[in-house]
Amino acid sequence: MTASLDRHSLLVIIGPTAVGKTALSLHLAEVLGGEIVSADSRLLYREMDIGTAKPTPEERARVPHHLLDIAAPDETVGLAEFQEQATAAIAAIHARGRLPLLVGGTGQYVRAVVEGWRVPRVPPDPDLRAELEAQAEREGAAALHARLARLDLAAAQRIDYRNVRRVIRALEVCLVTGRPISEQQRKQPPPYRILQIGLTMERATLYARADRRVEAMMVARLEDEVRRLVEAGYDWALPAMSGLGYVQFKPYFDGQATLEQVVAEIKWATHRFIRRQYNWFRLNDPVIRWFDVTEAPEGEIEATVREWLER
């Protein structure tokens, strides 16, 4: 691995869910002497393994992983905290003379690291959030988004009005600090030499792969995993429990849906999630080197990475 004295190599593997990031990152980390830093908001939580497709104990034994299982399901890990922990993990990997691989499908997490976002360190305000959530329930998501636009048009233009959680966070920062969140999110180039590898495939094929993975999760007893979390007292409103593969079980446990309906809902929600991921990871982004994994063999991607490392 070669890098200048003040800029260290960081390999980034991105792409939508079910496209094959885990398998590729494991292979590259093994052959290149690397360690994996997760950039997936769903993998942060302990006790949530099946529904998040978390790397298995066997996979973790093959390659060191970082930022897995760092929070309980009722804890909140903000973007600033993630960025801080990811940066620390990357620095420690560099100090060991190894290659860090930032791997994940949470676009906001990836971009915060590779673009050097300066994330406002404003702790959550539960009372304010409850007030904003009540407004969204009462007046609709569009009305809440319009309120943000009046306070911070730049932030509103970047955030989809349907993403109520992000709208609430932007409003929270604006109202608590008295300054637009967009002004507090200036970028500072990070001290890395970065290669971003994007994995993709034809959309219908990807949806079919995602559907098969949902079915495999059910065979692996996802229902039991969710039941244990509910019985442990974790509320459906928590960020962890309101996530893909978990909140869809609520009508089932309430006696209002069948298990078949839950599976169908998870599949539909996964397709929608994939579409949102492609909004973060755009195929025409010139800084991402895209590979169609149905056409590009693993060896071709490995050769690309090795060539970059040797520059």
Q: How many helices (H) and strands (E) does the chain have?
A: 13, 6
Strand-pairing partners, residue 37, are 66, 102
Measured between alpha carbons, how far is residue 159 from residues 146, 177, 225, 234, 248 in Å? 11, 19, 32, 28, 24
Q: Just give the CATH number of 204-277.
A: 1.10.287.890
How far apart (Å, rounded) are the C-alpha atoms in residues 24 and 43? 17
User: Residue 117 pLDDT more than 70?
Assistant: yes
Instruction: Name the residue ranges covered by the structural domains of the chain.
Output: 8-119+191-201+281-309, 126-184, 204-277
% of the chain surpassing 70 pLDDT: 98
Strand order in the sheet with 192-200: 65-66, 34-38, 99-104, 8-14, 192-200, 288-292
According to the model, what pLDDT value does residue 114 have? 96
According to the model, what pLDDT value does residue 7 have? 57
User: Residue 138 pLDDT more than 50?
Assistant: yes
Residues 199, 39 contacting (CB under 8 angstroms) = no
- The CATH superfamily assigned to 8-119+191-201+281-309 is P-loop containing nucleotide triphosphate hydrolases (3.40.50.300)
Q: What is the pLDDT of residues 139-184, one digit of tens each?
A: 999 999 999 999 999 999 989 999 998 999 999 999 999 999 888 8
**Of 26-40, 88-102, 258-272, 292-306, which gets the smallest average pLDDT?**
292-306
Residues 15, 103 contacting (CB under 8 angstroms) = no
pLDDT band at 96 (very low <50, low <70, confident <90, very high): very high
Give the contacts of 75 (CB within 8 A, at least 6 positions apart): 45
Domain 126-184's class? Answer: mainly alpha
pLDDT band at 4 (very low <50, low <70, confident <90, very high): very low
According to the model, what pLDDT value does residue 1 have? 44
Strand-pairing partners, residue 11, are 101, 195
According to the model, what pLDDT value does residue 262 have? 98
In this structure, how many other beta carbons lie within 10 angstroms of the beta carbon of residue 76? 13
Residues 160, 108 contacting (CB under 8 angstroms) = no
